[in-house]
A and B are shown apart, each in its own frame.
Chain A
Amino acid sequence: MNNPFIVLPVIFQLFVAVILMFSWNSKNLQKLISVIGSLIALLISLLLLIQVRQEGIQSMQAGGWMAPFGITFVADTFSALLVLLTAISGLAVSVFSVGSIRNARVKFGYFPILHLLIMGLSGAFLTGDIFNLYVWFEIIIISSFVLLTIGGEKAQIEGAIKYVTMNLLASVIFLTAIAILYGLTGSLNMADLSLQIAQVENRGLVNVTAILFLIGFGIKSAVFPLYFWLPASYHTPPPAISAIFGGLLTKVGVYALLRVFSLIFVPDDFLASVIAILAMLTMLTGGVGALIQNNIRKVFSYLIICHIGFMLAGLGIYSTIAIAGAIFYLVHDIIVKTNLFMVSGLIFKFKGTYSMRLLGGFYKDKPLLSLLMAVPLFSLVGIPPLSGFWGKLMLIKGAIATSNILIIAFIILGSFLTLFIIARMWAAVFWKDGAALPKKKQIKYFEELKPLKRKAMISSIAFLSLISLAIGFGAEWIMQMAIHIAENLMDPSAYIQAVLGI
């Protein structure tokens, strides 16, 4: 169905960024605009999801140029759901930033760039054109590069160089793959490509292109073996920035993988097993990497990699129930990872360190806050009925149905590693008796902040924890949606019909 308003989540973020740029010199006004803008954006994305659920897939041809010639925007349930999750994370990070971001960073345009990043993410989820997807990826990289380096500390710059190098390499590979695809079919519209690619006779080249896409998106979503840029960079910026990165950036790669490998390239047995093997190694290396880390943010960085493996496993198994599991896990992971990086930021504000060896006694000092922090931590482990459990359950169900024993073993291993790491972290940070840490002068501790800032930080964590709980307890509703999305991905005829009208 044609609906010119589905780009609204994208345009609105740009509008907020522009308004923020007009109020460049007033930091308090910027904070207010950012929070209000994020709230309205959340409302818009919610309305979009409701509309898509009621009326089916919505599409829009930018500039009135008909598909497959113009740029198409498509909102199916998958896109609309991810746009909503982006808006939720965006709101939480915006509120958290009010409390935690230093004025020096606000002065250099932190808030406008944050909204441009969210615009890029929403655009990547909504576009139906593979070259346009590349453009959104570039917008995401550029704004994330600014966010990563803003403030200009030495560690930040070092992390940013690794981050940018690897991501630019991924972009080059992605662009090459698009060029080959265009040479093969003469089309860039994803729905049109889905029809055209089936008729290409040169299957060898099609498979090579598919592998190129796998490598390009694989680097971006931190899949084994090219994940090392992630733990090298995600612990360097301020926690609010790590939160939006950890929650969303790698997930765009996963979204692109799921979209491209269901709509354009349908994996054959070989490709599916390649993806499955990559998924297993990703789970293993991410989990083992997290074991030896001492910095909490590095632990979370490695856990991101480990859990990207779960989502990739869904694609590797390639059945409706497994892909639904991957999507459920994706939904859960976006919220939880965003929240965990904010939790680590709050712990830092109290104690002035990220080191697990030095930290301790948090539960004794702040019992209520510790319980709040336990929600994302144990959701991540997937203790039923918290949100991480259901996605893994569906993945394992899918693996059993296709009798893929190895994947089941690795999913269980990955879950145990996560359980062990989080339990150890809980013991080290919350239960262990902590020595009194020396006060550092350059850090502004939590007690020294204004009450509004304190409330902003805690309420954003509470907000995402509530969403996590809602995903866990409302699992049936999300599961229905995930299965609906997976069915649409496995059988893209509805998507193609909405775009091309055939």
Chain B
Amino acid sequence: MKTLIFKTASAYLLPLLLLFSVFILLRGHYLPGGGFVGGLMAAIAFVIHSFANGIERTKNIVKFHPGFLMPVGLLLALLAGALPLLFGETFMTGLWMKQAVPVIGSVGTALFFDTGVYLVVIGVTLTIIFTISEGL
């Protein structure tokens, strides 16, 4: 798989796919998309990179163990769910900011929940793939 074309393409595909995954994450509230799909897409970006350049190079890009993203994502999702409890609302109620943020749109707890899911999915997928490819 380590052809020159694939290698060159993968260098451009990685940032593009990552950007696209963030786009999918952000549009997810009312349109198809969301944290799960976005997270899978971001993981696929790294998988393509590892196919082209070998798993060691990809690990060098990620720097830290991807498993670390799991508790971070879970904590973010949990806090987004539990935040309404402080305002006397029930668990998982969506709280929204009054004014929309430019580019992103209206920001609410649902966005942070989805970002948490996004991180967990990246963490789980990359951990699985890195672990499997170590045994090969």
In the assembled complex, the CB of A148 is this many whole angstroms from the nearest CB of chain B, namely 19
Q: How far is the CA of A121 from the CA of B134 in the complex (A)?
A: 35
Residue in B71, B78, B90 whose CB lies within 8 Å of A62: B90
Q: Hey, which chain A residues are within 8 Å of B75, CB to CB?
A: 18, 22
Q: Are B90 and A4 in contact (CB under 8 A)?
A: yes
Q: Hey, which chain B residues are within 8 Å of A63, CB to CB?
A: 90-94
Q: How far is the CA of A339 from the CA of B74 in the complex (A)?
A: 32
- Tell yes or no: A7 within 8 A of B by CB: yes
In the assembled complex, the CB of A284 is this many whole angstroms from the nearest CB of chain B, namely 45
* Chain B residue, CB-CB nearest to A62: B92
Q: Are A14 and B74 in contact (CB under 8 A)?
A: yes
Q: Hey, which chain A residues are within 8 Å of B74, CB to CB?
A: 14, 17-18, 21
- Tell yes or no: B70 within 8 A of A by CB: yes
Q: Are B93 and A64 in contact (CB under 8 A)?
A: yes
Q: How far is the CA of A18 from the CA of B81 in the complex (A)?
A: 14
Q: Hey, which chain B residues are within 8 Å of A19, CB to CB?
A: 71
- Tell yes or no: A11 within 8 A of B by CB: yes
8 A Cβ contacts from B59-105 to A: 67, 70-71, 74-75, 78, 81-82, 84-85, 88-94
* Chain B residue, CB-CB nearest to A116: B74
- Tell yes or no: A377 within 8 A of B by CB: no
Q: How far is the CA of A61 from the CA of B91 in the complex (A)?
A: 8
Which range holds the interface residue count of chain B? 10 to 19
Q: How far is the CA of A11 from the CA of B74 in the complex (A)?
A: 11
Q: A11-B78, A18-B78 are in contact. Are A4 and B71 (CB under 8 A)?
A: no
Q: How far is the CA of A24 from the CA of B64 in the complex (A)?
A: 14
Q: How far is the CA of A63 from the CA of B85 in the complex (A)?
A: 10
Q: Hey, which chain A residues are within 8 Å of B67, CB to CB?
A: 24
Q: Hey, which chain A residues are within 8 Å of B93, CB to CB?
A: 63-64
- Chain B proximity mask over A48-91: 1 for CB below 8 Å, otherwise 0: 00000000000011111000000000000000000000000000
Q: How far is the CA of A60 from the CA of B70 in the complex (A)?
A: 28
8 A Cβ contacts from A218-254 to B: none
Residue in A17, A18, A21, A60 whose CB lies within 8 Å of B91: A60
* Chain B residue, CB-CB nearest to A14: B78
- Tell yes or no: A350 within 8 A of B by CB: no
- Tell yes or no: A15 within 8 A of B by CB: yes
Q: Are B70 and A15 in contact (CB under 8 A)?
A: no
Q: Hey, which chain B residues are within 8 Å of A416, CB to CB?
A: none
In the assembled complex, the CB of B94 is this many whole angstroms from the nearest CB of chain A, namely 7
Q: Hey, which chain A residues are within 8 Å of B81, CB to CB?
A: 11
- Tell yes or no: A420 within 8 A of B by CB: no
- Tell yes or no: A473 within 8 A of B by CB: no
Q: Are B78 and A4 in contact (CB under 8 A)?
A: no
Q: Are A61 and B90 in contact (CB under 8 A)?
A: yes
Q: Are B91 and A62 in contact (CB under 8 A)?
A: yes
Q: Hey, which chain A residues are within 8 Å of B94, CB to CB?
A: 63-64
Q: Are A64 and B71 in contact (CB under 8 A)?
A: no
Q: How far is the CA of A19 from the CA of B81 in the complex (A)?
A: 16
8 A Cβ contacts from B17-72 to A: 67, 70-71
Q: Hey, which chain B residues are within 8 Å of A60, CB to CB?
A: 90-91
Q: Are A5 and B71 in contact (CB under 8 A)?
A: no
* Chain B residue, CB-CB nearest to A71: B92
Q: A14-B78, A18-B78 are in contact. Are A7 and B71 (CB under 8 A)?
A: no
Q: Hey, which chain A residues are within 8 Å of B70, CB to CB?
A: 21
Q: Are A22 and B71 in contact (CB under 8 A)?
A: yes
Q: A63-B94, A64-B90 are in contact. Are A15 and B78 (CB under 8 A)?
A: yes
Q: How far is the CA of A5 from the CA of B86 in the complex (A)?
A: 10
Q: Hey, which chain A residues are within 8 Å of B89, CB to CB?
A: 4, 64
Q: How far is the CA of A17 from the CA of B88 in the complex (A)?
A: 25
Q: How far is the CA of A4 from the CA of B91 in the complex (A)?
A: 7
Q: How far is the CA of A179 from the CA of B82 in the complex (A)?
A: 30
Q: Are A4 and B88 in contact (CB under 8 A)?
A: yes
In the assembled complex, the CB of B17 is this many whole angstroms from the nearest CB of chain A, namely 27
In the assembled complex, the CB of B131 is this many whole angstroms from the nearest CB of chain A, namely 11
Q: Hey, which chain B residues are within 8 Å of A11, CB to CB?
A: 78, 81-82, 91
Q: Hey, which chain A residues are within 8 Å of B88, CB to CB?
A: 4
Q: How far is the CA of A231 from the CA of B75 in the complex (A)?
A: 37
Q: Hey, which chain B residues are within 8 Å of A15, CB to CB?
A: 78
Q: How far is the CA of A461 from the CA of B111 in the complex (A)?
A: 46
Q: Are B91 and A7 in contact (CB under 8 A)?
A: yes
Most buried by A among B70, B81, B82, B91: B91
Q: How far is the CA of A63 from the CA of B81 in the complex (A)?
A: 9
Q: How far is the CA of A63 from the CA of B80 in the complex (A)?
A: 12
- Chain B proximity mask over A1-31: 1 for CB below 8 Å, otherwise 0: 0001101000100110111011010000000
In the assembled complex, the CB of B90 is this many whole angstroms from the nearest CB of chain A, namely 4
Q: Hey, which chain B residues are within 8 Å of A14, CB to CB?
A: 74, 78
Q: Hey, which chain A residues are within 8 Å of B82, CB to CB?
A: 11
Q: How far is the CA of A17 from the CA of B78 in the complex (A)?
A: 11
* Chain A residue, CB-CB nearest to B67: A24
* Chain B residue, CB-CB nearest to A11: B82
Q: Hey, which chain A residues are within 8 Å of B71, CB to CB?
A: 18-19, 21-22, 24
On B, residues with C-beta under 8 Å from A are 67, 70-71, 74-75, 78, 81-82, 84-85, 88-94
The 6 closest A-B pairs by CB, nearest first: A21-B71, A64-B93, A63-B92, A4-B90, A18-B74, A18-B75
A4-B90, A63-B90 known; 6 new pairs, CB 8 Å cut-off, are A24-B71, A62-B90, A62-B91, A63-B94, A64-B89, A64-B90
A-B contact pairs, 25 of them (CB 8 A): A4-B85, A4-B89, A4-B90, A4-B91, A5-B85, A11-B78, A11-B81, A11-B82, A11-B91, A14-B74, A15-B78, A19-B71, A21-B70, A21-B71, A24-B67, A24-B71, A60-B90, A62-B90, A62-B92, A63-B90, A63-B91, A63-B92, A63-B93, A63-B94, A64-B93
